[in-house]
Amino acid sequence: MFYFDIINTPIGDLLLLASDKGLKKILFEEQFRSLEIPNNWEQDKEKLSQAKEQLLAYFDNNLIEFNLQLDPVGTVFQKQIWKQLEEIPFGEIRSYQDIANVIEKPNACRAIGMANSKNPIPIIIPCHRVIGKNGKLTGYAGGIDIKAKLLQLEGIDLGNDSQQFALF
């Protein structure tokens, strides 16, 4: 059984999905509005109350580090990259190259970009904190405008960089 709830945030509605083990997914409004809720999903505000409270505190500038049980689905490599994303502090950014260097695979930028794009729990696993090595914003599941808003919320202003840029 999976549990979901929809919360209203400054960047639009978010659908939160959890299992008994933890938070599995966050979907942006554009991603879930046309979604038909599967039969094995049950709306449960209580099961998702901690995630909701922490997300709303984040958006109110009252939380800089999430403390939630997570249950993302992904490959071993994807989970390795997502773990690196969780190490990026609030208010800081990294490039795909920075992450490649940390995992000692300096030629893996494209693979890291693909793993980043498959992150099922954006915001909490902060893939929005990853930019191109040229300092430009790159793809984001919620859209570049939302990525820019999240970075601005964290005190990072990259200027009027709201266009889509290539990853590399």
What is the per-residue pLDDT for 162? 43
Active site residue 127: yes
What is the per-residue pLDDT for 139? 82
How far apart (Å, rounded) are the C-alpha atoms in residues 127 and 85?
6
On the CB side of 89, CA atoms within 13 Å amount to 3
What is the per-residue pLDDT for 91? 95
What is the per-residue pLDDT for 160? 53
What is the per-residue pLDDT for 132? 86
How far apart (Å, rounded) are the C-alpha atoms in residues 4 and 6?
7
| Opening angle at CA 68, ends 66 and 69, nearest 5 | 150
| Tokens found for residue 86 | 């969780």
Query: Do 6 and 15 form a contact (C-beta atoms < 8 A)?
Result: yes
How far apart (Å, rounded) are the C-alpha atoms in residues 1 and 18?
9
Instruction: Count other C-beta atoms under 10 Å from residue 44's C-beta.
Output: 15
Query: 48, 127, 130, 148: which is the annotated catalytic residue?
Result: 127
What is the per-residue pLDDT for 69? 97
Q: Mind listing the domains of the chain with CATH numbers?
A: 2-59 (3.30.160), 76-153 (1.10.10.10)
What is the per-residue pLDDT for 165? 41
How far apart (Å, rounded) are the C-alpha atoms in residues 43 and 34?
17
What is the per-residue pLDDT for 163? 44
How far apart (Å, rounded) are the C-alpha atoms in residues 17 and 4?
4
Name, in order, each residue with C-beta under 8 angstroms of 19's C-beta and a sequence gap of 6 or more: 1, 2, 3, 71
Helix segments in 60-143, DSSP class H: 76-86, 96-102, 109-117
Strand partners, 131: 95
Identify residue 113 by its one-letter amino acid code. Answer: G
pLDDT per residue as tens, the chain (168 positions): 999 999 999 999 999 999 999 999 999 999 998 889 999 999 999 999 999 999 999 999 999 999 999 999 999 999 999 999 999 999 999 999 999 999 999 999 999 999 999 999 999 999 999 998 888 888 888 889 999 999 999 999 776 544 444 333
What is the per-residue pLDDT for 159? 67
